[in-house]
Structure 1
Amino acid sequence: MNKPFYYGADISFLEEIEQAGGMFYEGDTADDCLEILKNNGVNSIRLRLWNNPEGEFCNLDHTLAMAKRIKEKGMHLLLCFHYSDEWADPKHQKKPKDWIDLDTDALKHALFDYTRSVVSALVSQGTKPDMVQIGNEITMGILWEDGCVTGELRHSDEQWSKFTDFVRTGAQAVKSVDSEINVMVHVDQGGKNDVCRFVLDQFEKHNVQYDSIGLSFYPWWHGTLQDLEANLSDLALRYEKDIAIIEVAYPWNIENPLNDIIIVQKEEQLHTGYPATQEGQAAYIRNFIELIQRTPNNRCIGFHYWEPCWIPFKEQWSVGHLNNWSNLTLFDYEGRSLPALAVIRELSQLTKMEAAPVE
């Protein structure tokens, strides 16, 4: 491959887990989770950023501290702006409370100033983000209701103009700090070509300038590996931009001995050939990575496994979440690394061998 391939992880919960007493192990040896991930081939970390959340995590101070840890390990950094005080996704794009009363023009100014100030703070401390998302899973817009493109507003050109203007403003703010930072737009439903094309065509129509496409791909919601492969092939050729799967996961267990409400808990949510076992998860991750590396023109530049370290060491997490991800991690309930992580190590080593110059 003639460009880096990112074996990534979103570990935005890590410090909260560590403060709750969570520990991580490679075999029987306890170690810093970041070190374990790096030793297993992970070379990129994604962090979410909320404007002014409850608690002490996923805010700017926390992000600055985590960015130092990440860069000290020599890792690539992907920063994900949610432009909210809490979770932003296709069902929730709530404005930050400090922006509630702003009109559309004032919102644009606030978005620009906030984005620029955050990126500037990271650059100033020597931890420049390599890639920045303008919003999280923005298929239905951002900063609702101003930037909402869901429901009856889905085909409103006026609403798409407002929404894409917010995205353009965020991208311009990032580039005003450092033009080399890669700006990404993030669409969920990575196995659904019609959804991805509809959104990305709107960005083309409204002349939004960005560098790369981010996709979420959760198989119990977004389709099969074959759906993903077909979508990647089409998007790579159609838009001629690099693509990354920046959210992905698969269960290693659905027995749920912790009695939590978990997202994947039924056999019908699984995919044929990939049972909810440690071995089934490892097989899924292997086939997933090999598949995305077949994307035409090497346009898929990597992936980020979503919250692989979210082991159940608290009853209640920031912004009201429970341990609903505990069977979708790359560590078991006690923090021991799972075979899927070893698969990432193996495939990352093969990538390095392929990229090495021939002497």
Structure 2
Amino acid sequence: MIYGMDVSFLDEIEHGGGRYYDEAGRERDLLELLKEKGGNAVRLRIWNDPAGGFCNLERTVPIAKRIKALGMAFLLDFHYSDKWADPANQWKPAAWEALSGAELEQAVYDYTAEVLAALAEAGALPDMVQVGNEVTPGMLWDNARVGVDEFDTDENWATFANLVKRGIEAVRAASPDIRIMIHIDRGGDNASSRKFFDRFEQLGVEFDVIGQSFYPWWHGTLGDLRDNLNDLAVRYGKPINVVETAYPWTLEEPEGYRWVMNGKEELLPLPEYPPSPQGQQRYLEDLIAIVREVPNGLGEGFYYWEPAWIPSQPTWSVGHPNNWANLTMFDFEGKVLSSFAALSGQPAK
């Protein structure tokens, strides 16, 4: 089973002097510590030309080499943007702003191929690639925007599918061994998940793995997640990863911080998991059990999103403060939390 961690902020944290510590207070390399705690896979996002340079190709290659040197699986997450690509933002890279049609498709192919060629040269090809991040509303807006109002047209869906196909084509050309994931953000929403993947099937998008985001304050209960994953496994017969998830270990907000989820009312769907290291561990234990029990062995694993984004500096290249440090698996000073025991099957105390 995949016990994955998305640590895309690692480069920026290390560059800014952030440090990590084990239970005994000893300074540790983050990736080595994650592996020691049971992690076996790492996910990195890649942006085309981001502000500050972090998460671009040049800075991704050294982190990828460290992942591979530790024998961990590597998932590369193409956003096809200069910044966040998510349900509210799927904006084109600035360099592609004037492109459309075949030119935009070629840009997707060429960029994907360029990234994978650089990683191959470094001996750090990913084991799996996401062609797009949380692409429920499409990608490369507005050309391939779908799902809402005037954008939800057959023409836009066809444009979207063709762009994804070109990305997939570039991955297959780089290595037939790299698996392709399509990632949406509907972990607790079966109707929307079916609508999306039915459409991709109809449009002939050929991929290997279904990825879902699941954050309980946005996406429902663990029961909703279970029902959705079970149905998708039977309906499509593909391996499934919960490729983004998290849960708070505290609701404390130090002065100057405002968390992305910051009120107890947002935890009401999951009152059995208090916002503590123990509650975080129990949440992960139950999520892991749900993934393990997906029919036909198709529950492949999960990735915790940014478990190590500690508040080690006041400003970040993404242009907003750290709003995630209560959802990490490290305390505010970078010391590992006991919730990692969920990866080794040790019960929460």
Pairwise same-fold verdict (TM > 0.5) = yes
Q: Which is worse superposed, 150-159 or 45-54?
A: 150-159
Aligned to 2:293: 294
Give the secondary structure class of the aligned counterpart of 2:43. strand
Q: Tell me, yes or no, if the aligned pair for 1:22 and 1:313 is still in contact at 8 Å.
A: yes
Q: Name the amino acid aligned to 1:92.
A: N
2:249 to 245, 248, 252: 252
Q: Tell me, yes or no, if the aligned pair for 2:145 and 2:152 is still in contact at 8 Å.
A: no
Alpha-carbon distance in 1 for matches of 2:219, 2:291: 15
Aligned to 1:275: 274
Aligned to 1:11: 7
Aligned to 1:146: 143
Aligned pairs for 1:62-141 (under 5 A) are 62-141=59-138
Aligned to 1:156: 153
Aligned to 2:36: 39
Alpha-carbon distance in 2 for matches of 1:343, 1:206: 39
Say yes or no: does 1:24 pair with 2:23: no
Give the secondary structure class of the aligned counterpart of 2:27. strand
Deviations 1:118-146 (A, max 9, x none): 11111121111100000000000000010
Aligned to 2:302: 303
How far residue 13 of structure 1 moved from its aligned partner, in angstroms, is: 0.1
Q: Name the amino acid aligned to 2:208.
A: D
Q: Tell me, yes or no, if the aligned pair for 1:189 and 1:221 is still in contact at 8 Å.
A: no
Alpha-carbon distance in 1 for matches of 2:123, 2:337: 33
Alpha-carbon distance in 2 for matches of 1:21, 1:189: 36
Alpha-carbon distance in 1 for matches of 2:342, 2:255: 27
Q: Which is worse superposed, 173-182 or 337-346?
A: 337-346
Give the secondary structure class of the aligned counterpart of 1:319. coil
Give the secondary structure class of the aligned counterpart of 1:46. strand
Q: Name the amino acid aligned to 1:158.
A: E
How far residue 105 of structure 1 moved from its aligned partner, in angstroms, is: 1.2
Q: Percent identity?
A: 48
Say yes or no: does 1:320 pair with 2:319: yes
Deviations 1:7-51 (A, max 9, x none): 000000012111222111111221101111000110000000000
Aligned to 1:357: none
How far residue 154 of structure 1 moved from its aligned partner, in angstroms, is: 5.2
Q: Tell me, yes or no, if the aligned pair for 1:214 and 1:244 is still in contact at 8 Å.
A: yes
Alpha-carbon distance in 1 for matches of 2:35, 2:216: 26
Number of residue pairs the alignment of both structures matches: 343
Deviations 1:202-244 (A, max 9, x none): 1001010101111100000001000000000000000000010
Q: Tell me, yes or no, if the aligned pair for 1:42 and 1:345 is still in contact at 8 Å.
A: no
Alpha-carbon distance in 1 for matches of 2:53, 2:103: 27
Alpha-carbon distance in 2 for matches of 1:165, 1:312: 40
- Tell me how large the CA RMSD over aligned residues is: 1.1
Scaled by the length of structure 1, the TM-score of the pair is 0.94
Give the secondary structure class of the aligned counterpart of 2:258. coil
Aligned to 2:181: 184
Aligned to 1:352: none
1:241 to 238, 241, 247: 238
How far residue 196 of structure 1 moved from its aligned partner, in angstroms, is: 0.8
Alpha-carbon distance in 2 for matches of 1:150, 1:315: 36
Give the secondary structure class of the aligned counterpart of 1:138. coil
Alpha-carbon distance in 2 for matches of 1:235, 1:154: 26
Q: Which is worse superposed, 253-262 or 338-347?
A: 338-347
Q: Tell me, yes or no, if the aligned pair for 2:242 and 2:302 is still in contact at 8 Å.
A: yes
Q: Tell me, yes or no, if the aligned pair for 1:44 and 1:77 is still in contact at 8 Å.
A: yes
Q: Tell me, yes or no, if the aligned pair for 1:24 and 1:32 is still in contact at 8 Å.
A: yes
How far residue 75 of structure 1 moved from its aligned partner, in angstroms, is: 0.5
Alpha-carbon distance in 1 for matches of 2:76, 2:280: 27
Q: Tell me, yes or no, if the aligned pair for 1:80 and 1:136 is still in contact at 8 Å.
A: yes
Give 5+ residue unaligned stretches, structure 1.
348-359
Deviations 1:257-279 (A, max 9, x none): 24311111111111120111111
Alpha-carbon distance in 2 for matches of 1:158, 1:136: 21
Scaled by the length of structure 2, the TM-score of the pair is 0.96
Alpha-carbon distance in 1 for matches of 2:70, 2:93: 32
Give 5+ residue unaligned stretches, structure 2.
none
Q: Name the amino acid aligned to 2:225.
A: L
Deviating 4+ runs (over 2 angstroms)? none
Q: Name the amino acid aligned to 1:300.
A: G
Give the secondary structure class of the aligned counterpart of 2:206. coil
Q: Name the amino acid aligned to 1:17.
A: I
Aligned to 2:191: 194
